[in-house]
């Protein structure tokens, strides 16, 4: 076997592989890669054992994050909850991984990271080190809506959905500029409550422009005012909940569970069988508790790095806590500017 490089946004074979491979997700798609490139100037690259003139049988897609602040590394993929290696045999995967490990020093990469749900150690690539930071909540929605509803937490989900219905909230859906502005306002408020800079507005604009009908914003209104909003993605039979925001003054109305339930019901009627509620950091206890009311037993989601960077992770955790203390005193406009400046370096 030999290793070849392709540019996935230009080589049509990558889109074909993503469409047919069972482990592909929305995060493998060309529109998602294009949004990353437009917003953060990341160059996507796929490593494969398939020759340039043959059908593409496998591929590991990465983005190169080259930052003067955080160093040079390749990640599969930045700002993506998970991204499975696409391959037919374990021999292919092992060959690709060993090649990347060997190329690490030559390319001057600080490390390489694979965000695989299934992990890498079980495939014989034990030199990678798991960096446990997240849980993944995935809900099977093949049962009837009634059965799904009754399996959700009675107090924190069922009753809150019913409360929202009684409140006669208005739901608006789509990707209009007005909806995006309302969503982003709630999203930035939520990030501010957690002392974190908001993701740049341009990222959401590019996601909508690139992914088109695969993106949907749902917002709940009490009168003229938006009080909660979510952004979901759709690929094949999977609905992804990616971002959300809310006004704490109206949490008693149950708007967030109501929006998620409406998104689930609509996607199910359109053939979806899986609702991926996304990753949640182990330290984010509030969001973790919220999602546990939908999926009581989430999967541990470990990102796999080579070489061993456990000490680096500890240092990054310390830096984040220190940064949050600074962010807590920033006015909203300065916090938004900070987000536009730093996210490209985070990946």
- What domains are defined for the chain? 4-127 (3.40.630.30), 137-301 (3.40.630.30)
* Between 205 and 123, the higher pLDDT residue: 205
On the question of pLDDT at 316 being above 80, the answer is no
On the question of pLDDT at 329 being above 80, the answer is no
Q: Contact at 8 Å (CB) between 85 and 93?
A: yes
Sheet of 60-67: strand order equals: 4-6, 43-48, 60-67, 71-76, 112-114, 299-306, 129-140, 274-281, 238-246, 225-235, 215-222, 170-174
**How far is 180 from 176, CA to CA, in rounded Å?**
6
**Tokens (6 digits) for 245:** 């925001």
**Tokens (6 digits) for 96:** 């690709």
**How far is 347 from 113, CA to CA, in rounded Å?**
11
On the question of pLDDT at 233 being above 60, the answer is yes
pLDDT 10s digits, 82-137: 999 999 988 899 899 989 988 987 888 889 999 998 776 554 455 788 776 899 99
Other Cβ atoms within 10 Å of 342 Cβ, number: 15
pLDDT of residue 347: 74
pLDDT of residue 71: 81
Q: HEC profile for 22-77?
A: CCCCHHHCHHHHHHHHHHHCCEEEEEECCCCCCCCCCEEEEEEEEECCCEEEEEEC
Q: How many alpha carbons fall within 13 Å on the CB side of residue 174?
A: 8
On the question of pLDDT at 150 being above 50, the answer is yes
pLDDT 10s digits, 152-174: 999 999 999 999 999 999 999 99
* Between 215 and 308, the higher pLDDT residue: 215
Four-residue CA torsion sign, 102, 132, 151, 155: negative
pLDDT of residue 242: 97
For residue 221, give every residue at least 6 positions away whose Cβ sits within 8 Å of its Cβ, in sequence order, or none.
169, 170, 171, 172, 227
On the question of pLDDT at 147 being above 80, the answer is yes
User: How far are the Cα atoms of 126, 167, 217, 276, 309 from residue 113, in angstroms, in the given order?
Assistant: 14, 46, 30, 22, 10
pLDDT of residue 333: 73
Answer whether the bond into residue 32 is a cis peptide, omega within 30°.
no
pLDDT 10s digits, 31-82: 999 999 999 999 999 999 999 999 999 999 999 998 877 788 999 999 999 9
For the chain, what is the mean pLDDT?
89
């Amino acid at each position: 076997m030999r290793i070849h490089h392709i540019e996935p946004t230009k080589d049509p074979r990558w889109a074909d592989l993503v469409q047919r491979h069972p482990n592909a997700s929305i995060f493998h798609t060309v529109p998602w890669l294009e949004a990353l490139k437009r917003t953060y100037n990341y160059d996507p690259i796929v490593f494969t054992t398939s020759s340039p003139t043959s059908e593409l049988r496998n591929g590991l897609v990465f983005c190169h994050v080259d930052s003067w602040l955080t160093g040079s590394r390749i990640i599969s993929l930045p700002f993506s909850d998970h991204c499975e290696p696409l391959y037919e045999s374990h021999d292919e995967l092992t060959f690709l991984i060993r090649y990347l490990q060997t190329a690490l020093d030559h390319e001057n990469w600080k490390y390489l990271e694979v965000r695989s749900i299934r992990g890498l150690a079980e495939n014989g690539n034990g030199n990678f080190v798991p960096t446990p930071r997240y849980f993944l909540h995935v809900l099977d929605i093949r049962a009837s809506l009634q059965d799904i509803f009754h399996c959700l937490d009675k107090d924190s989900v069922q009753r809150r959905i019913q409360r929202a219905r009684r409140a006669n909230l208005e739901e608006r859906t789509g990707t209009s500029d007005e909806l995006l502005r309302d969503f982003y306002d709630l999203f930035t408020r939520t990030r501010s409550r957690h002392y974190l800079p908001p993701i740049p507005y341009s990222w959401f604009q590019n996601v909508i422009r690139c992914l088109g009908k695969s993106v949907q914003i749902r917002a709940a209104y009490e009168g003229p005012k938006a009080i909660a909003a979510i952004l979901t993605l759709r690929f094949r039979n999977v609905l992804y909940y990616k971002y959300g925001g809310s006004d704490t003054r109206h949490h008693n109305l149950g708007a967030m569970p109501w929006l998620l339930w409406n998104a689930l019901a609509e996607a199910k009627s359109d053939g979806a069988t899986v609702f991926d509620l996304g990753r949640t950091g182990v330290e984010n206890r509030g969001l973790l508790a919220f999602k546990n009311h939908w999926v009581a037993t989430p999967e541990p989601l470990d990102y796999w790095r080579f070489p061993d960077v456990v000490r680096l992770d500890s240092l990054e955790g310390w830096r984040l806590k220190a940064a949050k203390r600074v962010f807590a005193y920033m006015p909203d406009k300065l916090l938004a500017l900070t987000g536009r400046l730093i996210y490209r370096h985070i990946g």
